[in-house]
Amino acid sequence: MKLSQFFIPTLKEVPSEAEIPSHSLALRAGLIRKVASGIYSFLPLGFRVLKKIEEIIRQEMNSTGAIELFLPVIQPSDLWKKSGRWEEYGPEMFRLKDRNKRDFCLGPTHEELITYLVYLDLKSYKNLPVNLYQIQVKFRDEIRPRYGLLRAREFIMKDAYSFCRNDDDSEVIYKKMYDAYCRILERIGLQYKVVEADTGLIGGKISHEFMVLAENG
């Protein structure tokens, strides 16, 4: 396609809501457009960038033996109440009711749903270990959305969930995922540090976060 035929709506002026250079550049270059506080559209050029990043992530996940699937955004409250996290999650969770007054949420994460799926369909321990991942939209009602895509109410996340017979299998998968994240960040060209982190509401024995250093946190 000729550049003259491609839709790249650039801006001459720095938008007033842009607090940091990356946000300003993304808006001015025609990568994204703000719809509402913490909600953005990806324009054609930004969408191409997004898909290239997704493909790098997908390649590295597949190389570990992880299997891709796609889970629904809307989740029934029953699963969250069963895990005890319906109330724990607090106001960050977007909640809604259907026409029959049943409670649902827009998924901030998918632990409940993937656990239910495996409960229904994984019939034998002989099928373990299995590592399932997705690249899907998530929703969190941030108190103060800011910095463009860095703290948004709607965002895209790669999340993976492993189910194992024992701790040894779990540690093997954890190491594979750790190494895959390192390769992803290196391929994208980001400088990062790995730090030990609190497991939070998700729980577990160990957690690491991959921190990309920036002046704005």
CATH number at residue 180: 3.30.930.10
How many domains does the chain fold into? 1
**pLDDT recorded at residue 201:** 61
Tell me the two tokens of residue 52: 């290239």
pLDDT, tens digit, 9 for 90 and up, residues 82-115: 999 999 999 999 999 999 999 999 999 999 999 9
Whether 216 maps to a domain, the answer reads no
Whether 71 maps to a domain, the answer reads yes
Whether 108 maps to a domain, the answer reads yes
**pLDDT recorded at residue 1:** 64
Question: In the chain, what are the helix, strand and coil shares in percent, each to the nearest 5?
Answer: 40, 25, 35
Whether 50 maps to a domain, the answer reads yes
Q: In sequence order, what are the beta bridge partners of 160?
A: 133
Mean predicted lDDT score pLDDT of the chain? 93
Task: Please compute the mean of the pLDDT values over residues 54-68 and round it to a whole number.
Answer: 98
d(CA 33, CA 164): 42
R_g over Cα of the chain: 19
Whether 110 maps to a domain, the answer reads yes
> Does pLDDT of 200 surpass 90?
no
Tell me the two tokens of residue 118: 């495996």
d(CA 160, CA 78): 22
Whether 206 maps to a domain, the answer reads no
What beta strand segments (E) does 5-73 contain?
Answer: 32-36, 39-42, 67-68
Tell me the two tokens of residue 215: 């002046």
Whether 19 maps to a domain, the answer reads no
197 or 175: which carries more pLDDT confidence? 175
In the chain, % of residues over pLDDT 90: 79
3-state DSSP call for residue 127? helix
Distance of CA 74 to the CA centre of its chain: 15
**pLDDT recorded at residue 202:** 63
Q: Which domain holds residue 182?
A: 42-188
Q: Rounded to a whole number, what is the distance in angstroms from the first to the last CA of the chain?
A: 38
- The answer to whether 31 touches 42, Cβ cutoff 8 Å, is yes
Is the link from the previous residue into 129 a cis peptide, with omega within 30 of 0?
yes
**pLDDT recorded at residue 6:** 82
Tell me the two tokens of residue 178: 């750790």
**pLDDT recorded at residue 180:** 98
Residue 205's pLDDT band (cuts 50, 70, 90): confident
Whether 31 maps to a domain, the answer reads no
